[in-house]
Amino acid sequence: MAFITQRHLPRRTVLRGLGATLSLPFLDAMVPARSLWSSTAKAAALDRTRLVCIEMVHGAAGSSEWGAEQHLWSPAETGHAFDLTPSALSPLEPHRKYLTIVSDTDVRPAEAVTPMEIGGDHFRSSAVFLTQTHPKQTESSDVRAGTSLDQIYAKRFGQDTPIPSMQLCIENVDQAGGCAYGYSCVYTDMISWVSPTEPLPMIRDPRMAFDQLFGAGGSTAERASRRRATSSVLDYVTAQVAELNGRLDASDRLRMDRYLEDVREIERRIQKVEARNATGEARALPGAPAGVPDSFDEHVKLMFDLQALAFQADITRVFSFKTGRDASSRVYPESGVTKGFHPASHHGGKPNNITEFGQINRYHASLLPYFLDKLQSLPDGDATLLDRSLIIYGSPMGDGNVHNHKRCPLVLLGGANGQLPGNVHLRAEAGTPMANVMLTVMNKIGLTEMEQFGDSTGTFSLA
């Protein structure tokens, strides 16, 4: 076994320039001198599972009675020998090694408890997804739900990173006051809760997310000036990059070059979007910030790239990502369906309509491999970032046509530092809370002392 003998570079090394802070990716030079690479890397990885929680809204076509018979969400077979072909999850076939499907769990806390709550499913569901707690019906500031699992994890494992957690979204979240059925808009707009009374705001604009990650520009005026000049955040740390490269070996220099090019490429794409949206031409998303692409596909991929970049530099280990807003009628041309998202979810139980809604589900799932490929391409010690990550993808709603919360879609992706089996489809017994699965995964990624989460009734075997 070879020892790494070069001078040790602290993991929290950053390059600083005027209004810019650039964290570094994990480098061989960060392994303590005279350490065995394998043992050091594995030890360092134990508390570094990256967590991404992605909410899809409106449930799934496969959660309807007919859709379930046709296996429009999950496959017919359980165990390891399952066929993804008819399901919305078929785009994940190349990554089935990292795929754990958990079918038929319920999210009872999203259901109406009192007569006044009936009909308000769209306006409380998002608050339930990561808390598994029934929210208080209110249009005022006295909101209450539960602490979300991403924030429970961030409190334990995110405090030694520059940013404990980040919250991203695709749809607008700039509404205030009440939305409908007596619910505050914060329940609809936000999925992360640092405490039962403190929801965390979501970032929709990729530019804002980039600036938060890299501290670009010390003031609004400085940021605006830099964007007009199309300069790069890297321009502020050029001398430091050159000095650092002089201390690195060839493999670390290659890692640094790729990382810096990834930073610059994302920055270029954001600048391109801003320039396109500043032309004065009519936009598909009127009123959206200049950094927000009109294309859903482009927007989601930018957000995925930002998350991968943040994980690579260990800027944060926790993301929540809300890909839609309940009751949104956005159309997804790439899905082949011209019907709006919310109207499509109200399929009336008609097979043709359910199939159309399933096409939208499949399109949304088809964007996940872009993120998985990116994470798999990035080394992290003796593994990849996909091996080190847990991605939770699901919805707190089941059949959107009737607004129920049964047979809710849920998949787990990534290796979670060896804690997920992968290549398995598990079907829960009727009435099993989704909270049971969430409690189990939290136990597996380091929160071993947790015995209860939301309305959990126990753990759930992922074997």
Confidence at residue 221, expressed as pLDDT on a 0 to 100 scale:
64
Q: What is the mean pLDDT of residues 160-171?
A: 95
Confidence at residue 222, expressed as pLDDT on a 0 to 100 scale:
60
Residues 51, 231: Cα–Cα separation, whole Å: 32
pLDDT above 50 (res 175): yes
Give which of 85, 52, 401, 360 is closest to 74, Cα–Cα.
85
pLDDT above 50 (res 382): yes
Which one is predicted more confidently, 218 or 442? 442
Reply yes or no on domain 49-204+292-463 having CATH 3.10.20.740: no
Q: Is the pTM of this model over 0.85?
A: yes
**What per-residue string of b and e applies to 414-431 under the rule 16 or more CB within 10 Å gives b?**
bbbbebbbbbbbbbbeee
Question: Which two three-digit tokens encode residue 229?
Answer: 């000049």
pLDDT above 80 (res 176): no
pLDDT digits (tens, 9 = 90+) for 249-291: 898 899 899 999 999 999 999 999 999 999 999 999 998 999 9
Domain boundaries, the chain: 1-35+208-291, 49-204+292-463
pLDDT above 90 (res 114): yes
